[in-house]
Structure 1
Amino acid sequence: MDLTILYRGPLASCDYDCPYCPFAKRRDSREQLRADRAALERFTAWAAAQTDDRISVLFTPWGEALVRSWYRRALVELARLPHIRRVAIQTNLSGRTQWLAAAGTTGRDKIALWCTYHPGQTPYERFLARCDELASLGIRHSVGVVGLDGHLDEARRLRAALPEEVYLWVNAAEGHSYTDEEAGRWTEIDPLFPYSRHPHRSAGLPCRTGESVISVDGDGTVRRCHFVRAALGNLYDGSYRGALGPRVCPLAVCDCHIGYVHLETLPLYDVFAGGVLERIPARQSSLIERASP
């Protein structure tokens, strides 16, 4: 079985103080960190044992995970396993990157980072240097920003500095509406921004979540995605497997990339072929041009 897993443990602490994020500068207690580490190690052990399946994993922590040694270790350990197809993580790229070398050549081919630049939280030069380090290590990565007015000049600056093959995405700011003129400025940076600009109608439409894509929390509860709360079972007792199958979305709309990318009514599996988890388009220029709504 080919299975994509979105894993989100209890970790909710972050080293940044972004005004648009509810987890800014949140501090987990020692007990919470120990619980998160134990949950991740349990998940990693489970994934390592599933040798009859082909597994891809995207870590989607509420906070910043790569400042924690257990997440760095999990990425390296999973990437070394032959039945793991891809292991990716969302990160603000605040930490060092040289630990990725421990994955070896084969492992580094499987690791991918989904990197968000937060202007005002880290020096531009430091973030760009981290991106250069990833490139030198051969680590696949995408880079992006939240589409707020105050970020526009920095986003343009970053797009000009990054290699053409590095995709720079733009997320519509939560609760923010864009005039056509404003949206046009962001679309010049990210031709796929129109997909993020408006929530997608999803009620009754077929979605891969719950069939080939699942969400898993720290306790092992399996849901179809992060946004539908109904449980399908538990990862560790195998009860979720009988619940897997084609299903339509029960929600009115889907407004997050890690959700709507799996809608079968959108062409994004073709756009991001080979890079769905890390948000990296295939053959960037031609596919983006053809796929833009």
Structure 2
Amino acid sequence: MDLTILYRGPLASCDYDCPYCPFAKRRDSPGRLRADRAALERFTGWVSRPTEDRLSVLFTPWGEGLTRSWYRRALTELSHLPQLRRVAIQTNLSCRTGWLADADPRKLALWCTYHPGQTPYDRFLTKTHELAALGIRFSVGVVGLADHLEQARRLRAELPAHVYLWINAAEGHTYTDEEAARWTRLDPLFPYSRRPHRSAGLPCRTGESVISVDGTGTVRRCHFVPAELGNLYDGSYRRALAPRACPLAVCDCHIGYVHLETLPLYDVFAGGVLERVPAAARPVAVAPPVFPEGR
């Protein structure tokens, strides 16, 4: 069985202070950090067990994982497992990059976000070139706020040519066609992020070949649907895996709507769905997104 797992443990602390993020500069207590470390070690132990399943893992912590040694160690160790097709993490890239030399670059990948005002531009750019020199697959993105536009343009000009620069629509922000066109010139796939996607009753891979797992091992179809499918560690989730339609009216986050079968994004990101790396170095929007009426 091919199974993609989105893992999110108790970690909720971040070293950045982004005004658009509810977890900015949040501090976890020592007890919460210990719980997060124990939960992650339990999860990586489960992934490391002998299995005929072919697994892919994306870590999507609320906070910044790579500032914690246990996430760096987990990514490195998992990258060497034969049953792992890909292991990736969402990160602000504030950590050093030297630890990646011990990982298998054929399997480990990073989904990086640049946050203007939180780190010096040159420092972030240098790290992207270090990743490229190490042979690590990665994408880089920016939240599509007006005061980020010039920095995003500079990034596109100075990133390694093969690196995809994605733009996330700012939560709650409505874009005029003129504004959207500016961002689309940087990221041809921005139209998929611009508005939420109608998803109610539509087929989605989540709950069948994609699942969400929390620190206790509770399995859900995705991060956005609270209904439980079982538990990872007792195997009860496996009986619940089946094709199923989305129960939500709309899906507005890339880690959710990328799995909608009505969108062409598995073809666009073929081989790089977890790390948001398109199959083509310069992606093009292959079909117009379908949006709810009136939006």
Q: TM-score, normalised by structure 2?
A: 0.97
Distance in structure 2 (CA, Å) of the matches to 1:85 and 1:239: 23
- The one-letter code of the counterpart of 2:43 is F
Distance in structure 1 (CA, Å) of the matches to 2:10 and 2:280: 36
Query: Which aligned pairs between 1:98-109 and structure 2 lie closer than 5 A?
Result: 98-103=98-103, 107-109=104-106
Q: Is 2:199 the counterpart of 1:202? A: yes
Aligned 8 A contact 1:13 1:23 in 2: yes
Q: Which runs of 4+ in 1 moved over 3 A?
A: 289-293
Q: Is 2:284 the counterpart of 1:288? A: yes
* Corresponding position of 1:58: 58
- Residue 166 of structure 2 aligns to a residue in which SS? strand
- The C-alpha deviation readout for 1:130-186, integer Å capped at 9, x for no partner, is 101100000000000000011000000000001221000000000000000000000
Q: Is 2:145 the counterpart of 1:148? A: yes
- The one-letter code of the counterpart of 2:270 is A
- The C-alpha deviation readout for 1:248-282, integer Å capped at 9, x for no partner, is 00000000000000000000000000000000000
- The C-alpha deviation readout for 1:12-37, integer Å capped at 9, x for no partner, is 00000000000000000000000000
Name the Cα RMSD after superposition. 0.9
Aligned 8 A contact 2:13 2:64 in 1: yes
TM-superposed CA distance for 1:52, in Å, is: 1.2
- Residue 90 of structure 1 aligns to a residue in which SS? strand
Of 46-55 and 175-184, deviating more is 46-55
Distance in structure 1 (CA, Å) of the matches to 2:216 and 2:2: 22
- Residue 240 of structure 1 aligns to a residue in which SS? helix
Structure 2 residue runs of 5 or longer lacking an equivalent are 290-295
* Corresponding position of 1:137: 134
Structure 1 residue runs of 5 or longer lacking an equivalent are none
Distance in structure 1 (CA, Å) of the matches to 2:164 and 2:211: 25
- Residue 286 of structure 2 aligns to a residue in which SS? helix
* Corresponding position of 2:160: 163
- The one-letter code of the counterpart of 1:65 is G
- Residue 106 of structure 2 aligns to a residue in which SS? helix
Query: Which aligned pairs between 1:1-293 and structure 2 lie closer than 5 A?
Result: 1-103=1-103, 107-285=104-282, 287-291=283-287, 293=289
- The one-letter code of the counterpart of 1:290 is V
Distance in structure 2 (CA, Å) of the matches to 1:133 and 1:22: 30
Distance in structure 2 (CA, Å) of the matches to 1:234 and 1:149: 43
Q: Name the one with the larger helix percent.
A: 1
- The one-letter code of the counterpart of 1:96 is R
* Corresponding position of 2:292: none
TM-superposed CA distance for 1:291, in Å, is: 4.4
TM-superposed CA distance for 1:283, in Å, is: 1.8
Distance in structure 2 (CA, Å) of the matches to 1:100 and 1:30: 26
- The C-alpha deviation readout for 1:99-120, integer Å capped at 9, x for no partner, is 01112xxx12100000000000
- Residue 251 of structure 1 aligns to a residue in which SS? coil
Q: TM-score, normalised by structure 1?
A: 0.97
Distance in structure 1 (CA, Å) of the matches to 2:27 and 2:88: 24
Aligned 8 A contact 1:191 1:292 in 2: no
